[in-house]
Amino acid sequence: MPQASEIAWLIPVFPLIGAVLSGLGLISINKKINNSREIVSVGLISFVGISAVISYKALIEQVNGYQSVEKLFVWANAGDFTIPMGFVLDPLGSVMLALVTTITLLVMIYSHGYMAHDKGYVRFFTYLALFSSSMMGLIVSPNLLEIYVFWELVGMCSYLLVGFWYDRDGAAHAAQKAFVVNRVGDFGLLLGILGLFWATNSFDFNEIATGISQSISDNSIPIWAALLLCFLVFLGPMAKSAQFPLHVWLPDAMEGPTPISALIHAATMVAAGIFLVARLQPLYSIFPSIQFIIALVGTITCFLGASIALTQMDLKKGLAYSTVSQLGYMMLAMGCGAPIAGIFHLVTHACFKAMLFLGSGSVIHAMEEVVGHQPILAQDMRLMGGLRKKMPYTSATFLIGCIAISGIPPLAGFWSKDEILGNAFISFPAFWFVGFLTAGLTAFYMFRLYFLTFEGEFRGDNKDLQKQLLIASKLNLDEENEEEHEEHGSIHESPWSMTFPLVFLAVPSVIIGFMGLPWDSKIANLLDPEEAQAAAKAFELKEFLPLAIASVFIASSGIIIAYQAYFVKKINLSILFAQRFPSINQFLSNKWYLDDINEKLFVKGSRKLAKEVLEVDSKVVDGVVNLTGLVTLGSGEGLKYFETGRAQFYALIVFGGVILLVAIFGFQSPQVT
pLDDT of residue 486 exceeding 50 = no
- Across 246-268, b (16+ Cβ under 10 Å) vs e yields bbbbbbbbbbbbbbbbbbbbbbb
- Which segment of 71-80, 107-116, 136-145, 358-367 scores lowest on mean pLDDT? 71-80
Quote the pLDDT of residue 466.
79
Mean of the pLDDT values across residues 39-59? 93
Most confident of 252-256, 260-264, 287-291: 287-291
Angle between helices 339-371 and 269-279 (to 10 degrees): 180
Quote the pLDDT of residue 670.
58
Quote the pLDDT of residue 485.
45
Q: Is the preceding peptide bond at 245 cis, omega within 30 degrees of 0? A: yes
| SS3 of residue 36 by DSSP | coil
| SS3 of residue 54 by DSSP | helix
| SS3 of residue 663 by DSSP | helix
Dihedral angle computed from the Cα positions of residues 651, 653, 657 and 660, in that order, rounded to the nearest 10 degrees: 120
Q: Could you report the per-residue pLDDT of 200-244, keeping only the tens digit for each?
A: 988 889 899 999 999 888 888 899 999 999 999 999 999 999 898
| All residues at 6 or more sequence positions from 377 whose CB lies less than 8 Å from its CB, including other chains | 367, 371, 383, 466, 469, 470, 485
What sign for the dihedral angle of Cα 470, 476, 482, 486?
A: positive
Quote the pLDDT of residue 481.
47
Quote the pLDDT of residue 480.
45
| HSE toward the beta carbon, residue 121, CA cutoff 13 A | 22
Quote the pLDDT of residue 645.
67
Alpha helices, DSSP H only, in 512-617? 522-527, 529-538, 541-566, 573, 582-589, 594-598, 604-616
Q: How confident is the model at residue 192 (pLDDT cuts 50, 70, 90)?
A: very high
pLDDT of residue 253 exceeding 80 = yes
Instruction: Report the percent of the chain where pLDDT is more than 70.
Output: 95
Q: Could you report the per-residue pLDDT of 499-554, keeping only the tens digit for each?
A: 999 999 999 999 998 988 888 888 888 888 888 888 888 888 888 899 999 999 99
- Mean pLDDT, the chain, rounded, equals 87
From residue 120, how far is each of 31, 111, 126, 600, 668 by CA, in Å?
A: 12, 12, 10, 36, 83
The whole-angstrom separation of Cα 55 and Cα 97 is 6
| All residues at 6 or more sequence positions from 107 whose CB lies less than 8 Å from its CB, including other chains | 128, 259, 260, 262, 263, 354, 358, 501
| Residue in 373, 360, 263 with CA at minimum distance from that of residue 319 | 360
Quote the pLDDT of residue 673.
47
Task: Pick 652 or 92 by higher pLDDT.
Answer: 92
Quick check: 40 and 25 in contact, CB under 8 A?
Answer: yes
pLDDT of residue 432 exceeding 90 = yes
The whole-angstrom separation of Cα 586 and Cα 307 is 12
| Residue in 560, 561, 539, 559 with CA at minimum distance from that of residue 548 | 539
For strand 81-89 and strand 516-517, is the pairing parallel, antiparallel, or unpaired? unpaired
| SS3 of residue 2 by DSSP | coil
Quote the pLDDT of residue 307.
93
Beta pairing partners, 81: 78
Quote the pLDDT of residue 475.
52
Classify residue 521 by its DSSP letter: E
Q: How confident is the model at residue 448 (pLDDT cuts 50, 70, 90)?
A: very high
- Across 552-572, b (16+ Cβ under 10 Å) vs e yields bebbeebbebbbebbeeeebe
The whole-angstrom separation of Cα 396 and Cα 402 is 10
Quick check: 447 and 595 in contact, CB under 8 A?
Answer: no
Task: Pick 439 or 265 by higher pLDDT.
Answer: 439
What DSSP letter does each residue of 170-186 carry, written as one string? HHHHHHHHHHHHHHHHH
Task: Pick 612 or 639 by higher pLDDT.
Answer: 612
Quote the pLDDT of residue 641.
66
Mean of the pLDDT values across residues 85-103? 92
Quote the pLDDT of residue 284.
93
Task: Pick 89 or 646 by higher pLDDT.
Answer: 89
| All residues at 6 or more sequence positions from 178 whose CB lies less than 8 Å from its CB, including other chains | 158, 159, 162, 249, 250, 252, 253
